[in-house]
Copies of this chain bind each other. A is one copy, B any other.
Amino acid sequence: MKPYLVGVDLGGTFIKAALVTLQGDIVKKVEIPSEKEAGPEKVIANICKSIELASGENIDHVEAIGVGSPGALITQKGIVCNAVNIPGFINIPLRDLIQERFGIPANLENDANAAAYAEYWKGAGRRSLIMVAYTLGTGVGGGIIINGKLIRGTNDCGGELGHITIVPDGEMCSCGNRGCVEAYASATFLVKHTSARLKKGCSSLLTTWLREGKILTARLIDEARRAGDEFAAEMLQEVGRYLGIGVANMVSALNPDVVVLGGGMMKAGEIILEPVRREVKKRVFLEHYEHLRIVPAALGNEAGVIGAAGLVLERAGIEIC
């Protein structure tokens, strides 16, 4: 085998790519705008450009290219059916386009699955038997790894942990269902709930900051919490409590040894983790909890590219080291 892989993380705003060793270590990484407003052809050209930039003169030593994409996919055929947050990126045979362009085998995977696999390979879930991972960002993604194998599901829809119902008649989710994990634990909904509560007149530093012209984001809420704002802390703890119900459900179903929580929201850290742990402990069997670690992700925003590269090996059935 050649010594390198390339991992690509296709996002709505940026495309990340990295040259990765067969051991999962990043040699070089790049990040370029996806330029989605210029249309799907341009996005595809930028994906190829990111691969060129990351591999550079090592392109002849690249064994395979792995891509993590958002949206609905047919990974076995390497097709992006609908990338949702990239307008017009519909029915794109991305794997074959890349294979033809570079003459190197390529592989397509769900981006949340890639992030999960990275944490299993090189991050917080290393050597776990059964790992459940969440990516908490604008939405909530998930991934399940059992005995080193990614659970892709019957038709590539496994690991949709953000769309597990936790409140039967709860908040409307972006997917059209009510009461999903995502409708309580995503950045989008954190901002929405916080805004609604602020309008009701809750006392918070955020009120002052918004009056000063700041924009309400998950990051701003966490900043207020760090500055000692109790209301902001409460909002983040609520995210943890609801997320904890979803996590507890996966713990009862799969009895994992590790649950990894990652994504932008997890920059808030223990303020979310602690209520997750408390809620899980309350809801699962003692036997489930005593062998379980609930930990923050370790790889930050490198997870996407590392995991996209790693899943090339996983799909080929090659033992990882």
Contact = CB atoms under 8 A, between A and B. Distances in A.
Interface of A: 72, 129-130, 142, 144, 146, 151-161, 163-168, 175, 177, 245, 248-250, 252-257, 282-285, 287-288, 290-292
B153 A130 contact: yes
Nearest to A169: B167
A248 B179 CA distance: 12
B165 A248 contact: yes
B156 A255 contact: yes
Nearest to A128: B154
A168 B166 CA distance: 7
A129 to B, nearest CB: 5
Contacts of A155: 255, 287, 290-291
A154 B291 contact: yes
Given A157-B252, A160-B252, A177-B282, 14 more contacts: A72-B287, A129-B154, A130-B151, A154-B291, A154-B292, A155-B291, A156-B255, A156-B287, A157-B255, A158-B255, A161-B252, A164-B253, A165-B245, A165-B283
A160 B283 contact: no
Contacts of A164: 248-249, 252-253
A160 B245 contact: no
Given A72-B287, A166-B165, A283-B165, A253 B144 contact: yes
Given A153-B130, A159-B253, A245 B72 contact: no
Nearest to A257: B154
A27 B90 CA distance: 55
Contacts of A256: 153-154
B287 A253 contact: no
A43 to B, nearest CB: 23
Contacts of A245: 165, 168
A189 to B, nearest CB: 16
A146 to B, nearest CB: 7
Pairs A-B, 9 closest by C-beta atoms: A153-B255, A158-B255, A157-B255, A154-B257, A160-B252, A164-B249, A163-B252, A157-B287, A177-B283
Contact of A130 (B154, B167, B284, B288): B154
Contacts of A177: 282-284
B175 A285 contact: yes
Contacts of A255: 151-160
10 contacts: A130-B153, A144-B253, A146-B146, A155-B255, A157-B252, A157-B285, A158-B253, A158-B254, A164-B252, A249-B249
B284 A253 contact: no
Nearest to A157: B255
A163 B254 contact: no
A285 B249 contact: no
